[in-house]
């Protein structure tokens, strides 16, 4: 049986979510149809929206379903800049955002936007640099809630305070894909942003369903045109089963589940500390579900290949940037060459066990003993 610790990339669908998803597949009606089958599908969709909005701390009318977190980020970033392009063209973002944010900003830059990067050395937003970057020319600020490679929990409340203090009127967008339901105080965290991107497949739900929260008073143009679904924001026949699965998965992420994640994480750290010659790339403020280490003495790729042959799966960086070479996020974090070359990301789920933690650590040490060269 596989030992899966790549849960920051994606997660296996839980039994409860699978059951809810399969059951919802029987709701074959189009939610826009006026007959009974359509009403049943629409009711399930709206119940899912109600559940998720309550968990996210927003109003139901502020919660829009999308096909992914990437789509949600694109919708917010391009939408805000389309609204503000005539007044201001500056975009401020951290130097460790997800590619679904950075690639949007890169496209905007090619079309004339001025881009300012804010350092996140050590896993914290450089508030001094951010404050200097905020002015009436600043249209958009992008700060993720949790970094997908280091697990750093960024100070969104502090970012919001600076935006308000300067009076620049900038829009704050937050990629909260790695944060939603994975840290205490999710609701308080997300209230700081004007728009928020979410995704279901980080919570043991299927891929293909995400969400965008748009605070009342924020105006965004439609991203997809057509039948006017999602109150005109995102046309396309709704993914009812995906929405139901998303709501079920989020509801399953209880404090007890988070405690399990902490226990498994602590077991991994204890084991690797005993092994020695391991760097722990842990920000002061972080979530428990992402643990970044440098297994000194063996290259990341070599370690991954060794573990994979044993059916044990972790990663070296974000799955969305794994084929692009050395991680820019870890460089921004401040790792030196040896730490970068041996960096590994362990994504911990509530369904992992301490026995799996032991198996992972034993395999890592065996790999270094057999194939270590740096």
- Positions annotated as catalytic residues are 320
| Alpha-helical runs (H) found in the chain | 15-24, 36-56, 69-84, 99-110, 127-133, 156-166, 186-191, 240-252, 255-275, 300-309, 328-333, 337-341, 354-371
Phi and psi, residue 237, nearest 5°: -60, 130
With a CB cutoff of 8 Å and minimum separation 6, the contacts of 205 are 11, 13, 14, 17, 21, 242, 245, 246, 248, 249, 250
Distances (CA, A) of 350 to 19, 31, 255: 18, 33, 10
Q: Strands across the sheet with 278-280, in order?
A: 278-280, 290-295, 343-347
Residue closest to 124 by CA, chosen among 103, 95, 100, 101: 95
Alpha-carbon span 268 to 264, nearest angstrom:
6
Pairwise CA distance, residues 125 & 95, whole Å: 9
Query: Phi, psi (5° rounding) for residue 304?
Result: -60, -45
Judging by beta carbons within 10 Å of its beta carbon (0-12, 13-18, 19+), is residue 192 exposed, middle or buried? buried
Compute the residue count for the chain.
374
As a whole number of angstroms, the distance between CA 344 and CA 293 comes to 5
Q: Tell me if 312 sits within 8 A of 90, measured CB to CB.
A: no
Name the 3-class secondary structure at 352.
coil
What is the distance between the alpha carbons of residues 4 and 360, in angstroms, rounded to a whole number?
A: 9
């Amino acid at each position: 049986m596989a030992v899966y610790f790549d849960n920051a990339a994606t997660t296996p669908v839980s039994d409860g979510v699978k059951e809810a998803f399969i059951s919802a597949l029987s709701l074959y009606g189009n939610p826009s149809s006026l007959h009974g089958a359509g009403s049943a599908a629409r009711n399930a969709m709206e119940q899912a929206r109600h559940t998720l909005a309550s968990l996210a701390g927003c109003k139901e009318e502020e919660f829009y379903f999308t096909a992914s977190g990437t789509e949600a980020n694109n919708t917010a970033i391009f939408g805000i800049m389309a609204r503000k392009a005539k007044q201001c063209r500056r975009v401020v973002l951290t130097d460790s955002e997800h590619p679904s944010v950075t690639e949007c900003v890169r496209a905007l830059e090619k079309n004339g936007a001025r881009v300012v990067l804010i350092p996140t050395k050590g896993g914290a937003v450089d508030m001094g640099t951010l404050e200097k970057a905020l002015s009436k020319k600043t249209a958009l600020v992008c700060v993720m809630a949790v970094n997908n490679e280091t697990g750093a929990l960024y100070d969104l409340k502090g970012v919001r305070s600076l935006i308000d203090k300067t009076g620049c009127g900038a829009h704050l967008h937050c990629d909260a894909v790695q944060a939603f339901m994975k840290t205490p105080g999710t609701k308080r965290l997300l209230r700081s942003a004007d728009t928020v991107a979410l995704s279901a497949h980080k919570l043991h739900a299927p891929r293909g369903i995400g969400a965008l929260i748009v605070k009342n008073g924020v105006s965004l143009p439609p991203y997809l045109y057509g039948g006017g679904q999602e109150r005109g924001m995102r046309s396309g026949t709704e993914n009812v089963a995906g929405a139901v699965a998303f709501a079920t998965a989020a509801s399953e992420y209880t404090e007890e589940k988070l405690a399990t994640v902490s226990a498994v994480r602590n077991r991994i750290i204890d084991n690797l500390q005993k092994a020695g010659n391991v760097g722990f790339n842990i920000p002061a403020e972080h979530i428990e579900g992402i643990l970044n280490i440098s297994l000194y003495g063996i290259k990341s790729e070599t370690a991954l290949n060794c573990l994979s042959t044993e059916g044990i799966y972790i990663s070296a960086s974000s799955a969305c940037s794994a084929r692009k070479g050395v991680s820019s996020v870890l460089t921004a974090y401040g790792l030196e060459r040896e730490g970068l070359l041996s960096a590994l990301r362990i994504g911990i789920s509530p369904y992992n066990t301490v026995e799996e933690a032991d198996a992972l650590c034993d395999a890592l040490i065996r790999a270094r003993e057999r194939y270590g060269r740096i």
